[in-house]
Structure 1
Amino acid sequence: MNKRKIVFISIAFVAIIYTIYSYFSPSNDGKIYLTTKVTKGNFINEVVTSGEAQSTSLKKINGPENLRKFRLREIKIQDLVPEGTIVKKGDYVGRLDPSDVNEQIIDARLNLEGAEAKYTQQQLDTTLSLKQERNALKDLSFNMEETKLELKQSTYEPPATIKKLENNLEKLVRDFNEKKENYKIKKRQANAKMVEVGTRVSKIRKELENLLDLLKSFTIYSNGNGMITYIREWNGAKKKVGSSISPWDPSIASLPDLTKMESKTYANEVDIRKIKKGLPVKVGFDAFPDVELNGVVTDVANVGENKRGSDIKVFQVLIKLTESDTNIRPGMTTSNRILTFEKKDVLSIPLEAVFSKDSITYVYTKAGFSINKKEVKIGNANNDAVIIEKGLTENDIVYLNKPEGLEKEKIITLN
């Protein structure tokens, strides 16, 4: 066979192959079709959320706890060490605004001065009054002695004179005894009055001492060793300089236990149905991309709450870290991959390869030079892929986008 004949036969063979391929393949008009193989392996479904690291065990650093006693409702934080500061027990943490306490101290000092002046005045009045009473008793006592002497010397006087002296003496004795009783009563009254004004002085002095002690407690020191973290208020904002403490919540900072950490996150209404206590979690940290710790779901909220700035309902999920890392700090942003489903040695394909019509789920598979529409039975799905329970085998090639010209092709159903 000469070379010319071989060339003609080759060209004819290629033309026949091209004709067959063109006949059995849909016209794509230059369109590119993406394909992928059916893979076999472990299939997982994860819910991915972002959250915040926090300690499950912390010691609060509080301001004065007796603010209500001094009628103080809201006290502003005047100074606070930066969050993340490492402190030891007794180290300075912050200071509260003393303005309201200083006003009460000034009032207490003025009240104390007035009470002490009143005490001194009462003391002088009492001394003078009792001195006058004692002098009156002495005068009566002298008059009684003089009358007794006159009565003694009146032995030879007329009976009327003697009787008169006896009556005078009896009257003086009666006046003396009455004056003596009055003196005792007035002394008790003076003592009671002195006790009253003295008690007021002591009370105001004690209030002043308490206020001065309270003022000292406005400088806050650490009650333990650790790293300072800021306390969150009811609205989620952190307490900082300019924030306030109250008698009901006197805390200004905390010392978390960094060996007992958790991730607080929120899931939407769709994903929350998949999340249950005990599910394993992989927790990553934006600040340390190379760090990934194991965790477990410990709490799933039953009631949703509105996401801030939106009407979307979210549900709180708490994830306990079962491992620890010295680099992790409260407040760090976390990425949480919650494993909700896992099945081993199953077939799966991307979601884009699955189509449906009249409740029949099917795929486009490559069969030599042609394309078949084939029914499949699917199982669980995640955000990227779906399990194929029946209809395909490993390494089968499926199309990720719908080939044109095959809409009316019959679907090959499952047996």
Structure 2
Amino acid sequence: MKKKKIAIIGVLTLTLIYVGYRYFTPSSDGSIYLTSQVKKGDFISEVITSGEAQSTSSKKINGPDNLRKFRLNNLKIQDLVAEGTIVKKGDYVGRLDPSSVNEQILDARLNLETSQSKYTQQQLDTTLSLKEERNYIRDLRFSMEETKLELKQSIYEPPATIKKLEISLEKAERGLKEKLENYTIKKRQANAKMVEVGNSVSKINKNLNDLLDLLKSFTIYSDGNGMITYDKDWDGTKKKVGSSINPWNTTIASLPDLTKMESKTYANEVDIRKVKKGLPVKIGFDAFPDIEMEGIVTSVANVGEKKRGSDIKVFQVLIKLNGTNDNIRPGMTTSNKILTFERKDVLSIPLEAIFSKDSITYVYKKTGFSIIKKEIKIGDSNNDSVIITDGLAENDVIYLNKPEGYDKEQIAKLN
């Protein structure tokens, strides 16, 4: 009797070993069956992105604002203080390459010398010309006086002689009157020419002074207190020594307000559907792993833009940082966890455990020593898991990969 009992126990033991081997060891084709349990608890969905810290308010430090007037373009930055330098109002920031302005200054000085020489020459010509005219008028007046004197002394001369002197006097008077009128016109002409060459001198002199003032503005100073942050070109690269500025964008750096910071990030076409204005965010910083700050989504772009070096479209998202931290600086890399939704006290399983056929969603559920295909209803999901609304209970064991030999099994429908 005792031997019979031992034999029965041995058979049962071998059976259990076989079943365990059958279900919990790799199959003949080398597959491994992975399982997971249905969990109950809080369920969150996050969109995780990488971004860059920046200030929402900053004061720009610009180069000269009248470059177009002098047809200057692509001016090189010759010197620039290191990014992150703390400056005060009036402190030196940088300098632009003055070579193009120096060329214009040299040309303006040569033009000024030429114009001044023309002015002097015109002045001398005018003086000489008018002097000759005045001498001629004086001679006419002397001639008139002589004719008058002769006429006065000719009372005893024949009438013909007197008439001739009267005609000569009338002719002299008419000539003097005409000469005086001509002198007035020539004087006005001379004054007009002097004004013309004088204006030319003034114009060139003013241009020279403007160029000298422009040259002074090539040395750039800070107009406020703060930390220097380099400006960026249209392609996102930071300006530095050797970079160029143009008349339409003369900014070389800025002074950000470190009390008003945000994280600028980008979401892909799939994740952007989940991101909404007002969602809470947890922001980390690669430079300071121990710092985590709260934030809120303040802006979500409606139009995508191509990612550099790729055809993938991304959408800009701005996240305001709640609070301040003295360690946070513009340009630091941020990690942003955007909480898109949260559910309390729900059932969830890994996404790998979900299968579907003919619009029916099901799982492979372990029941005792067997496996059944069980229909389920699912809710929201995140990148790893999905909420179960019906069909499973807490701690149920489900398979993460399809068990071999169960393809034709009937799906146990929900009641």
Aligned residue identity for 1:54: Q
Aligned-pair CA distance for 1:105: 0.9
Per the alignment, residue 241 of structure 2 pairs with 241
1:358-415: per-residue Cα shift (whole Å, max 9, x none)?
5443334444555554333222211111212122222333344444555555544332
1:270-326: per-residue Cα shift (whole Å, max 9, x none)?
112212222221121111111222222222222222221112222222222233222
Structure 1 gap segments, 5+ residues each: none
Matches within 5 A, 1:6-405: 13=9, 15-20=11-16, 22-23=18-19, 26-29=22-25, 33-404=33-404
CA contact (8 A) 1:64 1:217 kept: yes
CA distance in structure 1 between the aligned counterparts of 2:83 and 2:25, rounded to whole angstroms: 63
CA contact (8 A) 1:105 1:208 kept: yes
CA contact (8 A) 1:378 1:390 kept: yes
Find the residue that maps to 2:22 and give its secondary structure: coil
1:31-54: per-residue Cα shift (whole Å, max 9, x none)?
665444322211011111111122
CA distance in structure 2 between the aligned counterparts of 1:352 and 1:10, rounded to whole angstroms: 44
Aligned residue identity for 1:116: Q
Aligned residue identity for 1:255: L
Find the residue that maps to 1:192 and give its secondary structure: helix
CA distance in structure 1 between the aligned counterparts of 2:25 and 2:397, rounded to whole angstroms: 22
CA distance in structure 2 between the aligned counterparts of 1:7 and 1:64, rounded to whole angstroms: 106
Aligned residue pairs, count: 411
1:195-225: per-residue Cα shift (whole Å, max 9, x none)?
1111111111111111111111111111211
Find the residue that maps to 1:155 and give its secondary structure: coil
Find the residue that maps to 2:137 and give its secondary structure: helix
Aligned-pair CA distance for 1:23: 5.0
RMSD: 2.5
CA distance in structure 1 between the aligned counterparts of 2:277 and 2:266, rounded to whole angstroms: 14
Find the residue that maps to 2:263 and give its secondary structure: strand
Aligned residue identity for 1:26: R
Aligned residue identity for 2:15: T
CA distance in structure 2 between the aligned counterparts of 1:352 and 1:171, rounded to whole angstroms: 125
Moved more, 18-27 or 32-41: 18-27
CA distance in structure 2 between the aligned counterparts of 1:9 and 1:397, rounded to whole angstroms: 34
| Shift in alpha-carbon separation, 1:115–1:24, aligned structure 2, 3 A | closer
TM, length-normalised to structure 1: 0.91
Aligned-pair CA distance for 1:85: 1.5
1:175-204: per-residue Cα shift (whole Å, max 9, x none)?
222212211111111111111111111111
Aligned-pair CA distance for 1:128: 0.7
CA distance in structure 1 between the aligned counterparts of 2:21 and 2:238, rounded to whole angstroms: 65
Find the residue that maps to 1:95 and give its secondary structure: strand
CA contact (8 A) 1:25 1:370 kept: no
Aligned residue identity for 1:129: S
CA distance in structure 2 between the aligned counterparts of 1:57 and 1:298, rounded to whole angstroms: 15
CA contact (8 A) 2:26 2:33 kept: no
CA distance in structure 2 between the aligned counterparts of 1:6 and 1:98, rounded to whole angstroms: 110
CA distance in structure 2 between the aligned counterparts of 1:118 and 1:52, rounded to whole angstroms: 62
Aligned residue identity for 1:284: G
Find the residue that maps to 1:118 and give its secondary structure: helix
CA distance in structure 1 between the aligned counterparts of 2:13 and 2:373, rounded to whole angstroms: 23
Aligned residue identity for 1:13: I
Find the residue that maps to 2:64 and give its secondary structure: coil
1:2-39: per-residue Cα shift (whole Å, max 9, x none)?
xxx98995785364244256358735555665444322
| Shift in alpha-carbon separation, 1:181–1:30, aligned structure 2, 3 A | closer
Find the residue that maps to 2:106 and give its secondary structure: helix
Aligned residue identity for 1:180: L
| Shift in alpha-carbon separation, 1:414–1:88, aligned structure 2, 3 A | same
Moved more, 292-301 or 58-67: 292-301
Aligned residue identity for 1:318: L
Aligned residue identity for 2:302: N
Aligned residue identity for 2:105: I
CA distance in structure 1 between the aligned counterparts of 2:275 and 2:40, rounded to whole angstroms: 26
CA contact (8 A) 2:284 2:336 kept: yes
CA contact (8 A) 1:60 1:253 kept: yes
| Shift in alpha-carbon separation, 1:41–1:320, aligned structure 2, 3 A | same
